[in-house]
Every structure is written in C-alpha cells, then in structure tokens.
C-alpha cells in the first residue's frame, strides 16, 4: 500500500496534483452551496420587505 502511495518516487508530485484538485472541488461545491443558501435568505428578506405596507 505504501509502495503504491510512493508512486515510484513521484508520490509528492502526483498527490500534490490530485490533492489540489480534490481541494478545489470541495471548495467550489462548498461555495456553491453557501451561495445558494445566502441567496435564498436574501430573497426571503427582500420579499419580507416588499410585503411591508
């Protein structure tokens, strides 16, 4: 297993690449969800304001 992780000595480069990709995907998806949540909240607030007489 550790032999496979070492990737013939190139482990650092391979896992840095795939690791950054994984990090980027996680960040993008988290940001997407957070943006969706805050957009919904803002929309609710705007609609509440609009309902004020």
Using rule CB under 8 A, residue 16 touches other proteins? yes
Among 2, 18, 26, 30, binds other proteins (CB under 8 A): 18
Using rule CB under 8 A, residue 30 touches other proteins? no
Compute the Cα dihedral for 22, 28, 34, 40 and give only its sign: negative
* Residue 44: both structure tokens together: 């609710």
Residues lying near other proteins in the complex (CB under 8 A):
7-11, 13-14, 16-18, 20-21, 24-25, 28-29, 32, 35-36, 39-40, 42-44, 46-47, 50-51
């Amino acid at each position: 297993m550790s032999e496979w992780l070492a990737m013939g000595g190139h482990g650092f480069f391979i896992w840095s690449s795939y690791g950054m990709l994984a990090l980027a995907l996680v960040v993008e998806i988290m940001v997407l969800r957070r943006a969706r949540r805050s957009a919904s909240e803002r929309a609710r607030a705007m609609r509440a304001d609009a309902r004020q007489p």
